[in-house]
Structure formats: C-alpha cells, structure tokens
Amino acid sequence: ATLAAIVLLPLQASFVFADALTTKQQVEDRSSAGLSQFLRGADALQEQDFSAASTLFGNASGAFASASQSLDDVHGAVAAAVSLIPSTEKTASTAQALLDIGESVSRASNLLAKGMDEVTAAQALSVTDRLALMAAYTQEALPEMQKAAYASQQIDLEVVPEDMRDRVTQMIAILPALAQSFDEVVTHADALGTLLGADGKRTYMVVFQNNTELRPTGGFMGSFAEVSFDDGAITNMRIPGGGTYDIQGQLHAFVAAPGPLQLVRARWEFQDANWFPDFPTSARKMLWFYESAGGPSVNGVLSINADVLERLLVALGPMTLEGGTELNAENVLFEIQKEAEIGYDKEINAPKAIVGELTRLIFDKLEAADAQTLLQVTSVFVDSLNGRDMQVYFSENSLQSTMKDLGWTGEVRATADDYLMVVHTNVGGGKTDTVIDRDVTIDSFIAEDGTIENTVTLTQTHRGMANALFTGINNVDYVRLYVPKGSTFITGTGFEVPSSDVFQESEYPLEVDEDLAIAMQNVTKDPMTETDMWDEQGKTVFGNWMQTAPGETQIVTFTYRLPWRALHDDSSSAWAFAKQVFGSREALSYATVVQKQSGVAQNVLIRVHAPASFTQMWSSDGETDKEFYVEDQHSDLFTGWIFER
C-alpha cells in the first residue's frame, strides 16, 4: 500500500495539474474575449447608447459564463489542484467578478434601453411624464449598477492582460460613479419635474444673465420672462421685447443704488437687482422690484447664465431664426448680442425679441425630443444647476429647502473654516468678461502663535483687442472678497478707483433701500486704499476697484488677518482630530473653502506657509507639499492641512 501511494499519487497529481493548466488557459482566453466586449460596452454606456451597451455586456456575460463553466466542469480533485495554483485562483476570482459585473450591467442596460424606447414612443406624454418614466426605469436599474460597482472592487489587476489593464482600472473607477449617477438621475428627475409643474401649475420669473458682463449672481440681467408651467408644458410665456428695461417706466420705487452701481446710474432699478452674491437675497430683490413695477406674484425665480445656451445647442442642434440666421453653439452668444444691440428693428424697438424667439424654438425642440436628446438636455440642466450656472429660488419654504439640499439655490456658504469668495461686478465695462483670464492666489501665513494672515492676489489679463465689437474696452470691475466674519483688513495694492466726479447723481431725492441697509452692516472705508468694508451674510466683505485695458494685465492684492488662530486648544473638530492623531504633541490645523461665483472661470492656487518649527503631517489631497492648485474652477473647493511639532 505504501509503495502504491508513493508511485501512484504523484502520477495522479500530474494528471490533475495537466487538466488544471488546460482549464487555466481556457479561462484566461475566454475571460480576455469577454473583457474586450465588456470594455466596448463601457464605452457605449458612457455615450448613453444603451441598446449597444446591452448587447455588448450580454456578449461579455456569455464569455465570462463560459470561462466560469470551464472551471465548474473540472472534477473535485482538479478543482482542488487548481486552487493550489495562485494565478489560476486569482484568474477565477477575477473572472467571477467580471461575470457578475457583466450580468448586472447587462440587466441595467436592458432596463435603460427599454425605458429609452418607451420614452421615445410616448410622444403624447408630457415632458414631466416622460421624465418620470425614465426615472422609473433608472430606479429599477439602480440596484444592478450597485451590484456591479461592488463586484468591480473584487478584480485583481495582476491577472488582467497587461494591454487591457489601464482600461480595466478606468472601468473600476467608472462603475461606482455610474451607480451614483443612476441614483442622482432619479433624484434630479423628480426635482426637475417639480420645477416644470409636475404637481401643479407654477409660474416663474426666468432671468437670463449674460456672464460676458459679470454680476454677482452670474451676469447682467438683460432679459427676463414670465413663464407658467403645468405638467411640463408651457401654458403662458411673456418675454418683454425690451428686456429688463421694459419695466423702468412702471417702477414706483425710488431708492438709491449700491454705491459702486452709481457709476452707471444713481437710481437702483430692476436690471441691477442681482447685487448680492447670495442668490436667495438677490432673487427676493428681483421680485420686490418686479412687484413694485406692477408685476404679478410668482412662485419663484430661475436664473440662467448665457453659457447654458451654448450647451443646450450642443444637445439640441442648430436652430434657424425667422430671418434665416442659423444659431449654433459656436455663434449663439455673439449673434444674440449683435441683434440685441445693433441689428434689431429700431421702429419696433424690441432689442430682446431674439431671446423670446430662441426660447420658443428651444421648447418646440424639447417637446418633440426623443429619449436620447431628452436625457442629454436633462444632463445639461443638472450640470448647470450643480455648477451654479442655473440657480433657483422658491417662495415656498419646503420646496426651497428641497432645492437647497440639492445645492441648486446659490447661498453664500456657512463654514467654521477659513473662507473666500471673490465676487466680480462689471460696471460699465461692456461684454469684456468673455476675454478676461483670471487667477486667484491665496497665501496663508501662519505665525508661531497660530495667528493667520492671508494675502489674496487677483490677476486679470484682458485678451481683447482695442475697439473690437463688445470686448474692445476697459474691463471695469468692482471686486469683493467675502471672508470670515471679524477678519481685519491690513492693506491692499494695485487698486484703480474711478474719480468721484464720474459717478451719477440723481435729479430727485432717493430713499435708502431697506434691504440694502439690512444686508450691509458696519460699513467703513480704509483711508489709505479706499477699500470698502462691511459685514454681510455672516461674512466680512472687502471691496475695491480694478480696471483692465485690452492687452494689459492688472494685479491687486488684499491682505487681512483672520479672527482666530490655527493653534489653540478648544473643542473644534479640527483640533480634536489633530489631538487624536498626534496625542500630546502640539498640532496646528488649517482648512479653507473657496466658493465659486456663478458665471466665473478662474484658476485657484492656495499656498500655506506654516512656521518653520512645524512639520506637515497630513493634507486633504494626500500631497506632501503645502500647495493646492485647481485650473478653471467649476465648483466650490475644500482643502486642509495638519502640522505638528
């Protein structure tokens, strides 16, 4: 018996391993074929081609299933032997994960493809009903995408063919994001349905903001509309041909404009109502002006920046005006500005009529849109709301709270950390902001005792050519810094304050606006730099002027001291975390929020200058240096550091 065991067991083992190696090759070959199909399916899914994605993921599932079956076909002894070969065990585990992903994503893609087909076929349904139908299918597909996201974390990249490893790494990163996006589609579709009157008629003031001429909430309010929605359909739309200037004659309020706006007019009027960067505050002021001019009460305010039009025309395609002019994503802003300021019929005197005509063309296309286009347009709106290029305000508190939770209402953020919001206001500087490059540099100097002094450097370069249409003049910018309340202004450089004699004076008495007086508290002026200072929205504000001529670069700086120290022993969460990590060692923590102004493109560099006696132990971006840089900021920034000694 002993002799037989010595002779026969190695022989048996050799057969077992031979079978195992054959199976290993089959698994790898079939998994590789499935992986190729899967990656093509991932591309189709990102391109929102759900039908193709469903087919490709189905093919991938078949290949992975075949690989899995090859493993199952091996008898117990061979399977046991296979488990002794590490690479084969890893291959099997990864093949199973890919199989699970393929099956889950295939089912999800099938559901979305079916939903797209039904939405496309349901042309008789309203826009809100079609949104709800798409959301229902997305809701059903969501658990499958969550399963796929979980399975993606079980993949061992070492057994993936090297030429596909980068793509698989990308897929592992994409699947959780796709699962999250499915969840957001459901939430956002419901919110957009509410906006469009899914649960009853809603009337809004829709304000079109031209962010080529920056104002605090996005851009100059050149045009507006009064729009009523009921179950996704427009039941009434009135767009004054003269834009916001049309109600000047009916305005019964006679209040003085905020000081910087008096560079262009002494009286505060509707077109300049968006003075406050906090959108709810500006929206309430818009409604106050509108009602003071005899306008009806509405359910809320929706602002849309000019940039959104470009994105909409990418999704919807070109549109032709009655006069034969074709508008597309590349020329729409220029053509609207040209028509509104030069080309309109002077006898009819309706320079903003082009906005009304384009709006109707957009909604005509939306009503006839197929599911693919509707999904792309929904994506444009959601991205614009998330990026604050669209903002909403509801008079109804519960709806306002819902939209605030989604981040669509544009408040000035409350934070216990350092904070900065740079707010530009173009006052008589034409449409020059489209050719201004902006850089913001924040240098935070922390002393040994934890005292923090910040120097904010604003650099603006005017890329326009002198005398060019719309952009060939000086960019005249009243710039405000919103910083932590209680901050102390130290000094500033580079400001170019307009002469007092160019500000407008009223021919009749003007009252002090109550909302302005309440919003701006403790107003003072620095005698050396003429920097305005006040408190607003729980922040301290520093304001001054910068002017940039075509072809020139302008640099200004603000230096101020924060009202707290980075090194202190209290119950703050940052300090508690630092003490927990570093024990009895002395820790210094610094964190900041940089909030983005609506409609602005800017590069942001944050540099922290800690005392020499401290060593960096942690940073929010995982880097070892003391800098944080973001090119073309699209959303609010959060960053922080911890140092010890």
Q: How confident is the model over 158-212, as pLDDT tens digits?
A: 877 777 778 778 778 878 877 887 787 777 777 878 888 888 889 999 999 999 9
Query: What percent of the chain stands above pLDDT 90?
Result: 42
The whole-number average pLDDT for the span 455-477 is 92
Could you tell me which of 125, 136, 46, 47 has the C-alpha nearest to residue 369?
A: 125
The 10 Å Cβ neighbour count of residue 584 is 6
Mean pLDDT of 424-436: 94
* pLDDT the model gives residue 509: 93
Higher pLDDT, 639 or 623: 639
The tens digit of pLDDT for each residue in 202-254 reads: 999 999 999 999 999 999 998 898 989 888 778 888 888 888 888 888 899 99
Q: Which two tokens stand for residue 149?
A: 């996201």
What is the pLDDT at residue 80? Answer: 40
**477 strand-pairing partners:** 426, 546
* Residue bearing the bigger pLDDT, 5 or 131: 131
**More reliable by pLDDT, 594 or 138:** 594
State the Cα–Cα distance between residues 574 and 589, nearest whole angstrom.
7
Residue 599 pLDDT grade (very low, low, confident, very high; cuts 50, 70, 90): very high
pLDDT at 5 over 70: no
CA-CA distance, 174 to 154, in Å (whole number)?
Answer: 14
User: Measured between alpha carbons, how far apart are the two ends of the chain, in Å?
Assistant: 72
pLDDT, greater one: 23 or 628: 628
Say how many C-beta atoms besides its own lie within 10 A of residue 407's C-beta.
14
What whole-number distance in Å separates Cα of residue 150 and Cα of residue 152? Answer: 5
pLDDT in tens, 372-386: 787 788 888 888 988
Work out the mean pLDDT of the chain and round it to a whole number: 82
Within 293-417, strands assigned E span 300-305, 319-320, 326-327, 390-394
Residues 226, 238: contact at Cβ < 8 Å? yes
Q: Is 49:42 a contact under the CB 8 Å cutoff?
A: no
**pLDDT at residue 160, as a whole number:** 76
* 20-29, 142-151, 377-386, 411-420, range with the lowest pLDDT: 20-29
For 626, the token pair is 């003391």
Residues 6+ apart with CB under 8 A from 527: none
Strands of the sheet containing 390-394, edge to edge, are 233-238, 220-230, 202-210, 300-305, 390-394
The stretch 288-295 carries a mean pLDDT of 93
Give the residues across from 524 on adjacent strands.
533
Query: What mean pLDDT is predicted for residues 28-46?
Result: 60
As a whole number of angstroms, the distance between CA 234 and CA 360 comes to 10
In order, the DSSP letters of 289-310 are HHHHTTPPP-SEEEEEEHHHHH
Least confident of 40-44, 71-75, 618-622: 71-75
Q: Which residue in the block uniquely carries the two structure tokens 């981040």?
A: 407
For residue 11, what pLDDT is reported?
40
Mean pLDDT across 119-139? 80
Tokens 């994506």 belong to residue: 379
The CA radius of gyration of the chain, in Å to the nearest whole number, is 31
Provide the b/e sequence for 342-373 (b: ≥16 CB within 10 Å).
eebeeeeebbbbbbbbbbebbeebbeebebeb
**Which of 356-365, 481-490, 630-639 shows the highest mean pLDDT?**
481-490
Would strands 202-210 and 627-630 be described as parallel, antiparallel, or unpaired?
unpaired
**C-alpha to C-alpha distance for 283 and 536, rounded to whole angstroms:** 16
Highest mean pLDDT among 16-25, 429-438, 475-484: 475-484
Question: Which is higher by pLDDT, 347 or 448?
Answer: 448
What pLDDT is stored for residue 66 in this prediction? 53
* pLDDT value at residue 85: 38
Task: Indicate the pTM of the whole model.
Answer: 0.78
Q: Is 251 left (phi over 0), alpha (psi -120 to 50) or beta?
A: beta
User: Is residue 82 over pLDDT 60?
Assistant: no
More confident residue, 279 or 187: 279
194/191 Cα distance (integer angstroms) = 5
What is the sign of the dihedral through the CA atoms of 615, 621, 625 and 627?
A: negative
The per-residue b/e assignment along 254-293, b for 16 or more CB within 10 angstroms, e otherwise, is: ebbbbebbbbebbbbbbbbbbbbbbbbbbbbbbbbbbebb
Q: What is the DSSP letter of 538?
A: T
* DSSP reduced 3-state for 86: helix
User: Residue 261: its pLDDT value, please?
Assistant: 97
What CA–CA distance (Å, rounded) separates 16 from 336? 76
Label residue 334 by pLDDT band (50, 70, 90): confident
What lies within 8 Å, CB to CB, of 204 at 6+ separation is 226, 227, 228, 229, 298, 299, 300, 301, 302
pLDDT in tens, 544-567: 999 999 999 999 999 999 999 987
How do residues 500-540 score in pLDDT, each as one tens digit? 999 999 999 999 999 999 999 999 999 999 999 999 999 99
Neighbours of 133 (CB within 10 A): 18
Q: Read off the pLDDT of residues 11-29 as tens digits, 9 standing for 90 and up.
A: 443 343 344 445 445 545 5
More confident residue, 168 or 293: 293
